[in-house]
Each structure stands twice: as C-alpha cells, then as structure tokens.
C-alpha cells in the first residue's frame, strides 16, 4: 500500500492487520515497526496488487513478522516498480 494522506505521504508499507471495514494497521519495518503499527483509514491508502509470500506465511504461521522481512518486502516491491 502507498500512503496518500498524512505525515507518511508517499511511503510504501505493508498491511499487517485489518481492524474493520474502514481501518487497517500498516508497518514498513523501518519507521513503523511491527510492534508499533500505524492505524490508517483505507481511503487514505492506494492499494497495490502485490502480496509478499514471506510476510503472508510468517503472519499466518506465527501471527508475527520480523521488521527485516517487512523492509525486504517493501524494497522488493519498490524495485519492481522501478523496472
């Protein structure tokens, strides 16, 4: 997801939890760690058609994901945009 509104405008992050139909928790592993995610309104984000299998597997298996995996997922996605 790309943040469109607020202090983090233009930043890419990973949705780590959906709170309800209006809000999600996002983290990027760098500025926003998994332990302190940012609550964002879905309308303030741009959805991207990319799911990181590493992050998805980690969350489904343990309920957690390392900040390193989040950073890697964001960097991988951004590098695919630049190609």
pLDDT tens digit string along 19-56?
A: 999 999 999 999 999 999 999 999 999 998 889 999 99
Residue 46 DSSP label: E
Domain 2-82 matching CATH 3.30.70: the answer reads no
- Average pLDDT in the 44-73 region? 92
Structure tokens at 42: 């879905």
- Average pLDDT in the 6-25 region? 93
* Pairing between β-strand 14-18 and β-strand 23-27 as defined by DSSP bridges: antiparallel
Find tokens 């309800």 and name the residue.
20
Neighbouring CB atoms inside 10 A of 32's CB total 22
Sequence ranges of the domains in the chain: 2-82
Opening angle at CA 62, ends 57 and 64, nearest 5: 85
Can you name the residues that pair with 18 across neighbouring β-strands?
24
**So what's the pLDDT on residue 45?**
95
């Amino acid at each position: 997801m790309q943040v469109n509104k607020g202090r983090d405008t233009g930043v890419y992050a990973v949705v780590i939890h959906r709170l309800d139909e209006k809000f999600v928790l996002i983290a990027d592993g760098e500025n926003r760690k998994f332990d302190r995610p940012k609550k964002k309104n879905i309308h303030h984000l741009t959805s991207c058609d990319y799911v990181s299998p590493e992050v998805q597997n980690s969350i489904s298996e343990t309920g957690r994901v390392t900040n390193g995996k989040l950073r890697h997922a964001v960097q991988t996605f951004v590098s695919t945009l630049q190609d």
